[in-house]
Amino acid sequence: SGVGTLGAAAAPAATTAAATGTPNQNDDNWAANPTSTATDRIIYRTAPLAAATTVSGTTSVTLTITPSTSAARVSAVLVDYGTTTMRNYAANDEGITTLTTQSCWGDSSTSDSACYFDTQPDTETVSDDVFERGWADLGHFASLTSQQTLTPGKPVTITFDLNTTDHTIPAGHTLALIIGGTDKGYINAPSGKPKLTVNLASSSIQLPLSQ
């Protein structure tokens, strides 16, 4: 159904799940309502973690996907589910508040002031944190240097990396992998709304984990 378990066990043969690319959706939309099915993403979560776990390095995702169109994008994100106070990086000042006071460092000159406005953290409390992202044009499944036209109904396998990170997931939180189509704001959508059918038995994720 597209809501399942993220773990070390392989999925049964011929098990699939599908997501339809929706150009106006992004990873924040995908992360909402993690226990409900959705047409624009599939999600797999761990059980609540018994100990704090760190994802440190570069995550790699391998997906076998059958597209419904001749061009498609695929996105994968990692989400930390649990109440967290973090920088409000989506705000205009990207996680800081500029104060009216100033601090000076060294001497000023006629062309450069040594005084700068002080800042303080701008934080918010959230229930989920998308902390790692990656995207791919499915037409590059064979090569990064050449794009191929996809054959609707024919599966292809693609491996791509998520951005490198160093993120600690607290004990009691859950870790999730979400797979979707176009991630609005990060990549451009193809024409139409491709349906991506993922063969779970031949798809995997490699996580650089430590405790």
pLDDT in tens, 102-150: 999 999 999 999 999 999 999 999 999 999 999 999 999 999 888 999 9
pLDDT, one tens digit per residue, over 150-167 is 999 999 999 999 999 999
pLDDT at 176 over 90: yes
Average pLDDT over residues 182-206: 91
pLDDT at 93 over 90: no
Contact 193, 20 (CB under 8 A): yes
Give this prediction's pTM. 0.88
3-state secondary structure of 140: helix
Average pLDDT over residues 49-66: 97
> In the structure, what pLDDT confidence band is assigned to residue 1 with cuts at 50, 70 and 90?
low
Average pLDDT over residues 34-57: 94
Contact 52, 179 (CB under 8 A): no
pLDDT at 211 over 90: no
- 160 beta partners: 61
> In the structure, what pLDDT confidence band is assigned to residue 189 with cuts at 50, 70 and 90?
confident
Distance CA 58, CA 166 (A): 9
Distance CA 135, CA 183 (A): 8
Average pLDDT over residues 64-68: 97
Contact 109, 115 (CB under 8 A): no
3-state secondary structure of 68: coil
Average pLDDT over residues 11-22: 90
Distance set, CA 54 to CA 27, 142, 178 (Å): 21, 32, 18
Q: Take residue 81 and report the two structure tokens written for it.
A: 């589910």
pLDDT for residue 166: 97
Which burial class, exposed, middle or buried, applies to 47 when counting CB atoms under 10 A from its CB (0-12, 13-18, 19+)? exposed
